[in-house]
Structure 1
Amino acid sequence: MALHSAASTSERVSFNTLNRKTGNRVKREYVDIKTWKVVEREDQIKGYEVDDGRYVLFEPDELAAAVPQSDKTLRIQSYVPFTEIDDLYFDKPYYLLPDRLGEETFVLIRDAMRESKVGALGQAVLFRRLRTVLIRAHGDGLIATTLNFDYQVRSATEAFADIPKLKIEGEMLDIAKHIVKSKTALFDPRTFDDRYDAALAELVKAKMEGRTVKVKQRPKVERSTNLMEALRMSAGFGSARASKPRTAAAAARAAPVPRPAAARKKAG
């Protein structure tokens, strides 16, 4: 089977670093931090720091010996229900395609996993590391997602340890549930915008057309410190003294548009 990356960043706007004075591209070089002389590639060697300024050195062939042996085979170890796998472990997705001689086996495994609602855990050497992958049926093919190693995933218990134990009830919870209900929709990745990349593309276009790029000052936005008031505003209920809209549609129409603090002061 063949593995093809399912995600790519090639469409992003990218830049080169240039010499401001000459307009020529610059390149990175490794320099000795004490002599500040350039170290050529043949004189570079990998080292592991064991103490402050003390290193264990490794030749390229020594490091290569640590790379797992690979016959480019993806070996299935077990089949597990989807609910057994925490998506914190998900890393990078790949499309898994059949080779010409294995199409029947490919389809058989795909359909069996789909009907059984399980995924396959397998191992393969990818980029010099033995990686565990989760294989799942996806459309007419299979998706193989590399999984993070256990030591790479931080403990959720430790990460959330400082969150206070609170129990929210009453009107605040009702308003929060209303917000969730009114914003509930189907998952559609086509609606996601990379606003930064789009802004960069527009910036490049403006420069190419010779237009002057104006640097915008970011307005300061006042933030409410009153949780109930903030919830009411988010839900479109207006202030605490205002009457509640009768429907979610009315709530959406009544939702105020946040304005910068300066604009509010001027209006007042």
Structure 2
Amino acid sequence: MHTMWKGTISFGLVNIPVKMHAATENKDVKLRQLHKECKSPVKYEKVCPVCEQELKEEDIVKAYEYAKNKFVILDEEDLKAIKKEQGDKAVEIVDFVKLEEIDPIYFEKSYYLSPNEGGSKAYSLLRKALEETGKIGIAKMMIRSKEQLAVIRVYKNALVVETIHYPDEVRSVQDVPNVPEATEIGTKELDTAKMLIEQLTAAFEPEKYKDDYRTSLLDLIEEKKNTEQVATAKDKAVPNNVTNLMDALQASLDRAKKEKPKPKPANPKRKTKTAVKKKATS
């Protein structure tokens, strides 16, 4: 499993060297966009809309738009300095709370933690302490240039980091439009709804839930592939050097003909000295 982060998690005077691994993966079926005519993949290029020029990475800088079309340019050196300052800090567990105190709306992404060299005993200590107290740790850590609020908890036999949103990242429920106020509900209707919920209540078994859309899409792709309903992108035309050379030679010849000075026409009225002498002799 790929290691995406290495660091130290501490609580009190206990330091645990750990490695972090992504606990989930995106299994969305990615579809490409093709040119309908030649079936070639469509490219998306970075182009300046004012200069109408295609941009390279070295032509692009990062900035913060603090007002309409007003930007503060941020140098890479400044960003690296802040990142290093925060990244060098150990991940410190600052509080321990109960998992049920955190609403699921705060949860973002999960990562597995494994002990790094020399950290197995401290790793096991934290895991055992969390299990027996029923608590989870609240910590801050840097992931991909962003300071994350996170919880550290036990999942089966491993420690897990769950990144969670900061309170100001969760939008206020008061901003949700058309949410009805408390409405008078009939006793019979409520009892029927509760009875239905009870009948559909079951133990959570994640294995029984499947992504039906993804399965159907993959089946459709396989069916079309097996029946040869496929398209092959055309190769980009490679310049023919011979043709280009002949074109260049012909163009040069045509230009030379245009630029070559034309010979001056002979003047019939002008006679040479020899012709004049012959006439005088006769």
State percent identity of aligned pairs: 27
Alignment correspondent of 2:107: 90
Name the aligned partner's letter for residue 28 of structure 2. Answer: R
Name the aligned partner's letter for residue 147 of structure 2. Answer: L
TM (norm. structure 2) is 0.68
Hey, what's the Cα distance between the residues in 1 that align with 2:224 and 2:43? Answer: 24
Higher relative contact order (CA 8 A, sep 6+): 2
Alignment correspondent of 1:32: 48
Q: CA deviation at 1:180?
A: 0.5
SS of the equivalent of 2:216 reads helix
Name the aligned partner's letter for residue 63 of structure 1. Answer: L
Alignment correspondent of 1:135: 152
Hey, what's the Cα distance between the residues in 1 that align with 2:225 and 2:77? Answer: 48
Q: Which has the larger radius of gyration?
A: 2
**Offset from partner CA, 1:28-85 (integer Å, 9 cap, x none):** 2111113432122221122322333332222322333332432373222121122322
Hey, what's the Cα distance between the residues in 2 that align with 1:99 and 1:52? Answer: 48
Q: 1:71 to 1:65 in 2, by over 3 A?
A: closer
**Offset from partner CA, 1:134-185 (integer Å, 9 cap, x none):** 0111211111101101111122344388322113132211211121011111
Q: CA deviation at 1:6?
A: 0.9
Q: Which runs of 4+ in 1 moved over 4 A?
A: none
Higher-strand-fraction structure: 2
For 1:12, which of 16, 28, 36 is the aligned residue? 28
Q: 1:61 to 1:27 in 2, by over 3 A?
A: farther
Stretch of structure 1 that moved more, 33-42 or 91-100: 33-42
Hey, what's the Cα distance between the residues in 2 that align with 1:51 and 1:76? Answer: 37
Alignment correspondent of 2:213: 196
Q: 1:13 to 1:77 in 2, by over 3 A?
A: same
Gapped runs of 5+ residues in structure 1? 214-268
Q: CA deviation at 1:27?
A: 2.5
Equivalent residues in 2 for 1:218-229 (5 A)? none
Alignment correspondent of 2:57: 41
Equivalent residues in 2 for 1:229-240 (5 A)? none
RMSD: 2.3
Name the aligned partner's letter for residue 109 of structure 1. Answer: L
Alignment correspondent of 2:184: 167
Q: 1:165 to 1:69 in 2, by over 3 A?
A: closer
Gapped runs of 5+ residues in structure 2? 1-17, 231-282
TM (norm. structure 1) is 0.71
Q: 1:211 to 1:177 in 2, by over 3 A?
A: farther
Hey, what's the Cα distance between the residues in 2 that align with 1:45 and 1:74? Answer: 30
